[in-house]
Structure 1
Amino acid sequence: MFLTTLSKASLALIAASLVLLLTQGVESHSYADCIDWRFKDPKNHSWSDKNGACFGFARRFPLKAKPFAKLDSDDPNRHYQQDQKNPLGSPSCSDGIHGEEPGADETLGHPVTAAYSGKDKRGRKTGQMTQSTPGGQLCIRWPAKNHAVPDETNRPVTIALSGVNPTKDPNQRDFLKNVIVNLNYKNCTDKGKDTDIWPCGGCFNLPKTLKKGVYAMQWRWQLNSDEHYTSCADINVK
């Protein structure tokens, strides 16, 4: 009887461990959740919804979708992973077709406002475009997706800009030529037991030399040596 009970308990523990591993494996891909995050209290840089609000979003970002950090399992999923064998030759912004893991459509709108003023492919209203000024501060938010824990390598988030008023997105090599800041991926707050949903982010200032116009922006994060995730947005500099 003891052995039977022990075997059942052991099997249950193994099964629970496998479920946890599978869950973390599925929900482990990050993306930019907000491009212009503003804290309710400037002295309390908390990235949680209760302590701030978003005033600018990635392209075609659905306003009313799944809770924070769960859009990696949306349809289509929000995260986009570039081709592992050729990340520099992959689209810099997801077109919803190409990539190791194609994400939602984040291609440049024509006009640019078309990626913000309408609805996504599922009919959900999309968030507004980011507005700023030369030298203006932006704070970008992303979900940890289990990768801000101590035993994970902390690779930075790179933020890159295009030239003014692009007619198409820069390729990946051109974006990398104009990286304006590296942000700490593990800069997370409101840490609970679920490391998947820790809110993280970073703040920076746009170059003071920017001219009036619209700029494409790329958020890019390297998980492993062959895994690169990107999110794209546009910034209207006034």
Structure 2
Amino acid sequence: MFFTSLSKASLALIAASLVLLLTNSVESHSYADCIDWRFTNPKKSNSWSDKHGACFGYARRFPLKAKPFAKLDSDDPNRHYQQSHKNPDPNHALPCSNGRQGEEPGADETMGHPVTAAYSGKDQHGRKTGMITTTHPGGQLCIRWPAKNHAVPDEKNQPVTIALSGANPKKDPTQLEFLDNIVAKLNYKNCTDKGKDTDIWPCGGCFNLPKNLQTGYHVMQWRWKLNSDEWYTSCADLNVVKK
């Protein structure tokens, strides 16, 4: 038979490869890919694919053109950040990854000093980082994220929450401070261009900023709950200017 002709080493290698494949499929976790997504045709905003739009603002130290869409979870460190389960709980956990803490530390998304430093240089791998989001009070923002296998019918649809800091904070807000200023809840499963690979479905949602938002820099948190104790976040800065 076929299997009797394979060595034990070959069988072990096949088994290990299958485990790795299944692990990558199951343990894929999301993050904000773009903070200011703009559709090529705003009247036909029904596709989050790169073919139908472009990004004009990114999360902190987000690498440009590093890998194809949705593949930064295999970066080193992973792009996605899972908050600590014991700090003492996810509602008190570090809100923006510092690259060291958390169940899955993720990439460094701490505040830059000055704020623009997180967008005008390179990440730890020497890759150019994306630009800061510039917007205005009452302006619309559209945020994009990859499905990472979690937008299929048998997955529970947990909303994405968007929270803001006050104007010009000296440091990142605490998680509790973000929870006190949630400005939008978005449908996680609002995905398009659904091919066979459910990992790379592009998803997103749009919302309007408060009309009374002060001008200046604001910290924005994208936060998504996968399981009862798994919270994933991405942080970005908004440069809010007069319209």
| TM-score (norm: length of structure 2) | 0.90
| Counterpart check, 1:66 vs 2:67 | yes
1:47 maps to amino acid: W
Corresponding residue of 2:34 = 34
Corresponding residue of 2:150 = 147
| Counterpart check, 1:56 vs 2:54 | no
Counterpart pick for 1:116 among 105, 115, 119: 119
1:60 maps to amino acid: R
- 1:212 offset after TM fit, Å? 1.1
Task: Give the match's secondary structure for 1:159.
Answer: strand
Once residues 45 and 117 of structure 1 are traced to their aligned partners in structure 2, the CA distance between those partners, rounded to angstroms, is 31
1:58 maps to amino acid: A
Corresponding residue of 1:103 = 106
Q: How does 1:65-104 map to 2 (within 5 A)?
A: 65-85=66-86, 86-104=89-107
Unaligned regions of 5+ residues in structure 2, if any? 6-10
| Counterpart check, 1:177 vs 2:198 | no
Q: How does 1:191-206 map to 2 (within 5 A)?
A: 191-206=194-209
- 1:18 offset after TM fit, Å? 4.8
Superimposed CA distance per residue, residues 31-54 of structure 1 (whole angstroms, 9 cap, x where no aligned partner): 000000000111142101111100
| TM-score (norm: length of structure 1) | 0.92
Once residues 22 and 119 of structure 1 are traced to their aligned partners in structure 2, the CA distance between those partners, rounded to angstroms, is 30
Once residues 82 and 4 of structure 2 are traced to their aligned partners in structure 1, the CA distance between those partners, rounded to angstroms, is 41
Corresponding residue of 1:222 = 225
Superimposed CA distance per residue, residues 143-190 of structure 1 (whole angstroms, 9 cap, x where no aligned partner): 000000000000000000000001000000110000001000000000
Once residues 7 and 141 of structure 1 are traced to their aligned partners in structure 2, the CA distance between those partners, rounded to angstroms, is 49
Once residues 168 and 215 of structure 1 are traced to their aligned partners in structure 2, the CA distance between those partners, rounded to angstroms, is 11
Task: Give the match's secondary structure for 1:23.
Answer: helix
Once residues 41 and 7 of structure 1 are traced to their aligned partners in structure 2, the CA distance between those partners, rounded to angstroms, is 59
Corresponding residue of 2:161 = 158
Task: Give the match's secondary structure for 1:140.
Answer: strand
Once residues 84 and 62 of structure 2 are traced to their aligned partners in structure 1, the CA distance between those partners, rounded to angstroms, is 23
Once residues 24 and 213 of structure 2 are traced to their aligned partners in structure 1, the CA distance between those partners, rounded to angstroms, is 43
Q: Identity percentage over the alignment?
A: 73
Once residues 20 and 124 of structure 1 are traced to their aligned partners in structure 2, the CA distance between those partners, rounded to angstroms, is 28
- Contact map agreement 2:85 2:93 (CA 8 A) in 1: no
Over 3 Å counting, the alpha-carbon distance change for 1:213 and 1:20 in structure 2 is same
* Equivalences, count: 230
- 1:220 offset after TM fit, Å? 0.2
Task: Give the match's secondary structure for 2:25.
Answer: helix
- 1:5 offset after TM fit, Å? 6.1
Task: Give the match's secondary structure for 2:165.
Answer: strand
Once residues 2 and 79 of structure 2 are traced to their aligned partners in structure 1, the CA distance between those partners, rounded to angstroms, is 44
Task: Give the match's secondary structure for 1:24.
Answer: helix
- 1:19 offset after TM fit, Å? 5.3
Task: Give the match's secondary structure for 2:24.
Answer: helix
| Counterpart check, 1:168 vs 2:171 | yes
Task: Give the match's secondary structure for 2:210.
Answer: coil
Once residues 64 and 115 of structure 1 are traced to their aligned partners in structure 2, the CA distance between those partners, rounded to angstroms, is 17
